[in-house]
Structure 1
């Protein structure tokens, strides 16, 4: 399932990253947030792929390894140049929602709560996800 967050920002799970969806949503770039990159045989010619190693564990520190900074910087570049980007992880719940929420906070100068509420309106699966204090 893919959901549109902003005019060129989409969020989904690993199954959403297929040729049908890529064409339907006119995606130019895919940001994969997993333990391994998307398999070469699943990649589509002409699409830019970026991989960020990210575990789906509470102990995953997104600050020390620059995961958050690198991902937000990449999203901002795509957003500023109107490149449609699909951000996905395994289930489309925690990793992708974390990065998109952080991007919304930085891009719009929103609070974490406001960013998460905005994302929940756009991405139904995010309703099950909550940031811990």
Structure 2
């Protein structure tokens, strides 16, 4: 038998999965074969893929001052850049070694990632990226919008999806549901 909290989580996951699975509308607006390296999904916040993260001159022209790599590492499906990669570009860097799988505990990295995004927005613009710019990176941007911009989970997902076809994996979505529940309990503010 499910607890009340488990029922709430399951219901919310079902609602958010519907939003994330509605790619047909988003994709129908894009020209055939079009796939952006990065998209500005909220003022000053870009979500992108590994290729965007490796184009330092392009990032400088866009005014990117900070990079959050949500897929740091040398394993498959990670992006092997790092602090030294951006030294000559004067881009501040935060790397998180996360895999895109449902069992990955991304919630323990939310607070430092959100603080980094806040700092970046105070000083310029931020690229939040992972390998493809779909799951890990979008999870952090959605969490930022929930925490700092006081959006609920569905509003935050829809806001990001207005600009980029993102789909956090089901494990990340569950952790975002739990974040939303905690924010609601604490009146929108986590320490």
TM-score calculated relative to the size of structure 2: 0.60
Q: State the partner residue of 1:21.
A: 58
Between Structure 1 and Structure 2, how many residues are aligned? 128
Distance 1:44-1:68 versus aligned 2 partners, 3 A rule: same
Greater Rg by CA: 2
**1:43 aligns to what SS in structure 2?**
helix
Q: Please, which runs of 5 or more residues in structure 1 have no aligned partner?
A: none
Cα displacement (A) at 1:44:
5.4
Comparing both structures, which one devotes a greater share of its residues to helix? 2
Relative distance call for 1:129 and 1:54 in structure 2 (3 A) is: closer
5+ long unaligned stretches in structure 2: 1-36, 74-79, 178-191
Q: Name the structure with the higher strand share.
A: 1
Match of 1:5 in 2: 41
What is the CA–CA distance in structure 2 between the aligned matches of 1:49 and 1:40, rounded to whole Å? 5
The structure 2 residue matched to 1:38, chosen from 67, 70, 81, is: 81
- Tell me the equivalent position of 2:112: 70
* Pairing 1:112–2:156 present: no
TM-score under structure 1 length normalisation: 0.84
CA RMSD of aligned residues (A): 2.1
The runs of at least 4 aligned residues of structure 1 exceeding 2 Å deviation read 39-44, 128-133
Higher relative contact order (CA closer than 8 Å, sequence separation 6+): 1
Q: Which stretch has the larger CA shift, 69-78 or 43-52?
A: 43-52
